[in-house]
Homo-oligomer: A and B are copies of this chain.
Amino acid sequence: MLARTCLALALVLALPVHAADDAKKTPSAKDLLAKSTPDEWRTPDPANLVYMDLPQGRVIIELAQDWTPAHAANIRTLIREHYFDGTQVIRVQDNFVTQWGDADGDDKAKAKSLGTAKESLPAEFTRKGGKYPFTRLPDGDVYAPEVGFSDGFPVARDAKAGEAWITHCYGTVGVARDVGAETGNGSSLYAIIGQAPRNLDRNLAVAGKVLKGMEILSAYPRGGEPMGFYEKPEQRVTIKSVRLAADVPEAKRTPIQVLRTESKTFAAVIEAKRNRKDDFYTRPAGKIDLCNINVPVRDPSKKP
């Protein structure tokens, strides 16, 4: 029997093909990235780079400094005062979010001190006016007038209203809050682990985006209580430590680079996915949705 295991093989592997066939086929992302130039990659600012060390490995998050500066500052304070060390993954709701923070955060008597961090922050749900890079996608969006990428983040904008915001895509990290718009402070964060819940857009502050380690956050057992909270304290995973890359000696940092979302190679990667046609994909979609695009990340210490 032939392989039934080849689903989407063409997505990942560059199959050896005759030169004559090459022209007809969409190049793979791997091939396109191999041809990228060094200046097409950026090294995130270590002051915006968060290492969250879990028993299963390291999750790396880039803070959205330019989009939610008050939240980025407060999260940096929490990290520098080691607030997150020993806090836990408290909630995993299938096809929605993995959330972490102080399991006793609801209980004033038991809640961990926020130290010098603020308890309340301005509701940075959208960005009003100002300048920012914007690489627009060509196929529209169900939710917003325009969507695209800005410095690696998936964003939507409404030019008429003069507003833009980071969208809730897979891997987006948001700030949990209570009912009041200003009740979020970054001490409890969530990562999107399912179909992009775009109805959260403009209702919550986005803290940043997971660059590495989503496969850890997405594979925790789902909680059995409403909203995916764990029934028993022992089901919670305890966070070993959360540090800023800037506070880790340079030699001990995890090497990471992100493909610039204004680069030619990123445009080519998107185009190849929009119009993928090869031996496996015979009917190209011809379109692509914002949250179907993964921004490539690489370890610059490894040869491509």
Chain A positions near chain B (C-beta within 8 angstroms): 1-9, 11-13, 90-92, 94-97, 99, 101-102, 105-106, 108, 111, 114, 119, 125, 139-143, 169-171, 174, 176-179, 181, 183-185, 187-188, 190, 194-204, 214-215, 218-222, 226-227, 229, 273, 276, 279-285, 287-289, 291-292, 294
Query: Which chain B positions have C-beta within 8 A of A4?
Result: 101-102, 105-106, 176-178, 183-185, 187-188
Dominant secondary structure of chain A at its interface with chain B? loop
Evaluate contact between A3 and B105: CB separation under 8 angstroms: yes
Query: Which chain B positions have C-beta within 8 A of A280?
Result: 179, 203
Closest 9 interchain pairs by CB? A4-B188, A3-B106, A215-B222, A94-B215, A199-B285, A7-B176, A1-B111, A142-B289, A202-B283
Evaluate contact between B204 and A7: CB separation under 8 angstroms: yes
Evaluate contact between A95 and B7: CB separation under 8 angstroms: no
With A6-B179, A179-B280 known to touch, is A195 a contact of B292 (CB < 8 Å)? yes
Query: Which chain B positions have C-beta within 8 A of A5?
Result: 90-91, 99, 101, 105-106, 176, 188, 229
